[in-house]
Chains A and B, each alone.
Chain A
Amino acid sequence: MESNEILRVNGISKRYGDISVFEHLDLSVKKGEVVVIVGPSGCGKSTFLRCLNGLEEIQEGEVLLDGERISQNPKELSRTREKIGMVFQSYDLFPHLTILQNLTLAPVKVKKRNKKDVEKEAEELLERVGLLSKKDRYPRELSGGQKQRVAIVRALIMHPEVLLLDEITAALDPEMVKEVLDVVLSLAKEGRTMVIVTHEMQVARAAANRMIFIDGGKIVEEGEPTEFFEHPQTERLRQFLHSFSYEAE
């Protein structure tokens, strides 16, 4: 076992009754590593991500954070989730709270941190993503891209050891995608550990240390990004990557 390994997935399987989503998947993520998972819709990549913080129950295998097995017990699970941040496709800010309150809720109520300190940190983080002027607005008043940047900050302010990003640009207009991806890239540069599920091949290429291609509930291919994109080893990945490069005939 490598010493700086932070997240380890040992042979997990997810089934809904008789229907199997994936079987015996393994993954190891090192501290500071950015792992990007791609694959066709319905291949189970989002479900896989959701298993990492226990939002989905697994039927087999185990997930280890810092060498400790993530339990399914609700109390322990919520403590583990403090260390694994997650950002969703639909942002899911809390609509009844202002942007600042959205950011301070969990650190104050869950981590019992001092409210003033958290507010100060929240403002610094908002400044960083260019949204400090929106701190007293409600989520409804923000654009999709702005909401998603707030959602990223909301995960960051919990000081997670790992950040899971689940298709966070999939619901955004093209011009808003960039502002969100810029934030993701800067997080990658500062050495955040992230597991990202996305359809944005550009950002995958720019941010990833390692690419994983899942299809039909299996890891079909994985590797370092340049190799992965330039010299795919499997026919299936070649086809998949080809579908992203549209050339008019």
Chain B
Amino acid sequence: MDFEVIHSYIPLYTQAFLLTIKIGWIGIVIAVVIGIATAFLQHFKVPVLAQIASVYVEIFRNTPLLVQLFFIYFGLPKVGIMIPAETCGAAGLGLLGGSYMAEGFRSGLDAVSKSQTESALALGMTKVQLFRYVIFPEAFSLSVPAVVANVIFLLKETSVFSAISLMDLMFTAKDLIGLYYNTTEALFLLVIFYIIMLLPVSGLGSLIEKKTHLRTAGV
């Protein structure tokens, strides 16, 4: 392995790293928002909207991100909708992630026991207070493990962004390999940068999980 080469590649990787993180986290924020909204609609069985939410979840959960990105980036322009690659990446990740997050939040909402509702009502809480102070925070604690797992999964999924010519980590590695044949160095840096990106997230995730675990009902 040539460390001189590695050294010279680092600025390029750093740039790609920042782009990957930027689009990745924008996508995750979109995913959380869509996920919470979808989970609400499904949990409360809002007429029509709940059905639409289910169709959305099934479509995006059961198609690969690559296919979704191709559809948005190459398919939509055919009907006159042009979207920049970065927006496509964030939107694709958000839509895919939303379907996963929805399942996570919904399982949290469903897991709050019915007797919690009764004990809150017995204290004189209104439906709104019950939801705001009891059910939502409890459901959120219960969804944390699923949400953390989804965040890590989505950050890794960003590697398919290269397919719509976004200059993310994967794109940079492939590009450099194609240009200079320094395969070992390029792949080594690729692995290192993904680990740098994900290790803090999974560490922080475990910490949050441990903290919120104490705040769930347990057995």
Contact = CB atoms under 8 A, between A and B. Distances in A.
A141 B215 CA distance: 10
Interface string A119-154: 000000000000000000011110000000001001
A140 B133 CA distance: 18
Contact of B115 (A84, A88, A154): A88
Interface residues of A, number: 32
Contacts of B124: 78-79, 81-82, 106, 110-111, 158
Q: Which secondary structure characterizes the binding site on chain B?
A: helix
Interface string B176-219: 00000000000000000000000000000000000000111110
Nearest to B215: A96
B165 interface: no
Contacts of A139: 217
B145 interface: no
Interface in B104-160: 113, 115-116, 118-127, 129, 133-134, 137-138, 141
Given A82-B124, A109-B125, A95 B119 contact: no
A229 interface: no
B209 to A, nearest CB: 14
Given A88-B118, A95-B138, A106 B216 contact: no
A53 B120 CA distance: 12
Contacts of A86: 119, 122
A158 B216 contact: no
Nearest to B112: A95
Given A95-B138, A105-B133, A109-B133, A141 B214 contact: yes
Q: How large is the interface on B (under 10, 10 to 19, 20 to 34, 35 or more residues)?
A: 20 to 34
Contacts of B113: 92
Contacts of B115: 88, 90, 92
Contacts of A88: 115, 118-119, 122
Given A110-B124, A110-B129, A140-B217, A92 B119 contact: yes
B152 to A, nearest CB: 24
Given A90-B115, A140-B218, A81 B127 contact: no
A154 B119 CA distance: 10
A86 B117 CA distance: 13
A55 B118 contact: yes
B123 A106 contact: yes
Interface in A28-51: none
B126 A75 contact: yes
Nearest to B130: A78
A121 B119 CA distance: 21
Interface string A47-77: 0000001010000000000000000001100
Contacts, number: 79
A109 B129 CA distance: 8
Contacts of B127: 74
A55 B218 contact: no
Contacts of A94: 116, 119-120, 133-134, 138
Contacts of B118: 55, 88, 92
B216 A96 contact: yes
A217 interface: no
A154 B137 CA distance: 19
A78 B214 contact: no
A74 B124 CA distance: 10
Nearest to B218: A140
Given A55-B118, A88-B115, A88-B118, A95 B125 contact: no
A78 B134 CA distance: 16
The interface centre, meaning the residue of B125, B134, B214, B217 with most chain A CB atoms within 10 A of its CB, is B217
B169 to A, nearest CB: 37
A81 B129 CA distance: 14
22 contacts: A74-B127, A81-B122, A81-B124, A82-B124, A88-B118, A92-B113, A92-B116, A92-B119, A93-B119, A94-B116, A94-B120, A95-B217, A95-B218, A105-B123, A106-B123, A106-B124, A110-B125, A111-B124, A138-B215, A139-B217, A154-B123, A158-B124
The 5 A-B pairs at the shortest CB distance, nearest first, are namely A82-B124, A92-B119, A106-B123, A86-B122, A96-B215
